[in-house]
Amino acid sequence: MKALVVSELSEDFSGCGVRDEPTPIPGPGEVRVRVRGASINFPDLLMTRGGYQFKPPLPFTPGLDFSGEIDAVGEGVGAFKVGDDVVGGARTGGFAEFIVVPAQGLRRKPPRLSFAQAAAFPAAYLTAYVALVRRARIEAAEWVLVNGASGGVGLACVDLARHLGAKVIAAGASDEKLARVAELYQPDATVNVTGGFRDQVKTITGGRGVDVAYDPVGGDVFDETVRCMAFDGRLLVIGFASGRIPTVSVNMPLIKGFSVVGVRAGEYGRQFPQRGAENIAAIDALAASGAVNPHVFAELPLERWREGFEMLQHRTVIGKVVLRPDL
C-alpha cells in the first residue's frame, strides 16, 4: 500500500515521503479500513518535527482522523462487517491507503456526511465540544470569542457555539477569510485581530467583554484576549498555532475574575472514559442530524500531501484539508 512515512524529524517536512509499505493485517479485535479520507490537523505537522507532546517512534505514518470502509475484520469482531462505512481516530496511521485499528475505536459514518466531511469533523468538533460543554459549561446567550476562527478547530467552535445558542465573535487576521466564515456560519460579529481587538470586542459586548474565549492561537492574540474577558469568564487554552506559548500574569485572572482553562479533548476522554464516550456520541449525533456542518476546504490525493501541509502551515485554509488516498 501507499503511505506517507516520516523517517526523520525535520522543520521543513524533508523527512516525509510517500512510499510502499506492507498492507497491515488485522489481528483479534481489529479491523482494516480502506481510507477514503484523512484530515490534516496541526498536531500532524508538529509530529513531523518532534514538536508535539506525543512523540511516536520513527518511522511512523501521521494522520489522526480518517474515514473509509471496512476491508477486513479480525477474529472476534462482531460489531462491523466488510463494506461498512466508518469514521475513526488514531494517534497515527491515517495518511495511508489502509489502516488497522481496534474495532472499538470506530463508529459508523453519519450517512449525510461525505467521506471527506466525516474525516474532517472528529478531532475539531470533539475539541470544540469538550471545550464549550465540558470545560466552559457554556450557557445560551453567553458571548464567545473564537480566535483562529477560519482554521479547523476554530471553525468547528463557531459552528458548535452557534448551535448551542451562544453569541459568537469570530476573530482572525484576514478580512477575506472572516467574510467566508460569516457566509458559512453567520456569527454575530467578526473582528480582525491585526493591531489589537480589545476595543472592538468591548464595543460588541456592550463594554462587558466575553464570557468564553476559545484560543488555539496563543502568542499576541492570547495576550490581547486576556484584556477581553468579562468577570467570571473562562479563557480556554486550545493550542499555540502562532508558535509562541504565552504566559499570563496571575493578577489579571484575579482582578478580572476569570479562569484560564486547559483543553485536551483526547486526554479528557482517556481520563474520564464514560464522559469521553458520551462526548463522541454527542458530536456524532450532531453530525448525523445536520445540526453541525463540517467544512472541507480542499480534497487532495495522498501524493499532494506537501501541498496540504503547507496550506495549513501558511494558514490559507478555511476549515479542513483532507487527503484522499483513493484519488
Partners of residue 101 on adjacent β-strands:
31
Cis bond upstream, residue 59 (ω within 30): yes
Domain annotation covers residue 282: no
pLDDT of 315: 87
Cell of 29: 479485535
What pLDDT is recorded for position 4? Answer: 98
CA distance 191 to 204: 10
3-state class of 179 per DSSP? helix
Task: Note the pLDDT tens digit of each residue in 196-241.
Answer: 999 999 999 999 999 999 999 999 999 999 999 999 999 999 999 8
Do residue 85 and residue 129 come from a single domain?
no
Instruction: Assess if residue 69 is contained within a domain.
Output: yes
In a shared domain, residues 100 and 175: no
Contacts of 314 (CB under 8 A, 6+ apart): none
Together in a domain, 86 and 21: yes
Q: What is the pLDDT of residue 53?
A: 85
Instruction: Kindly state whether residue 280 falls inside one of the protein's structural domains.
Output: no
272 contact partners, CB below 8 Å, separation of at least 6: none
Q: What is the dihedral of CA 115, 120, 122, 123, to 10 degrees?
A: 150
pLDDT, tens digit, 9 for 90 and up, residues 66-99: 999 999 999 999 999 999 999 998 899 999 999 9
243 and 149 in a common domain: yes
DSSP 8-state class, residue 96: B
User: Of the candidates 249, 251, 254, 221, which has an alpha carbon nearest to the alpha carbon of residue 237?
Assistant: 221
Is residue 240 classed as helix, strand or coil in its secondary structure?
coil
What's the domain count of the chain?
A: 2
User: Which residue range is the domain that position 116 belongs to?
Assistant: 2-121+294-324
CA distances from 261 to 130, 170, 212, 214, 264 (A): 11, 20, 10, 10, 10
Residues 134 and 111 in one domain: no
Domain co-membership, 245 together with 176: yes
Q: What's the pLDDT at 215?
A: 98
The model carries a pTM of 0.90
85 and 133, same domain (yes or no)? no
Kindly report the CATH number assigned to the domain that includes residue 233: 3.40.50.720
Question: Low-confidence residues of the chain, pLDDT below 70?
Answer: none
Instruction: Quote the pLDDT of residue 241.
Output: 87
Q: Are residues 112 and 139 in the same domain?
A: no
Based on the fold, state whether residues 129 and 246 are members of the same structural domain.
yes
Same domain, 173 and 93: no
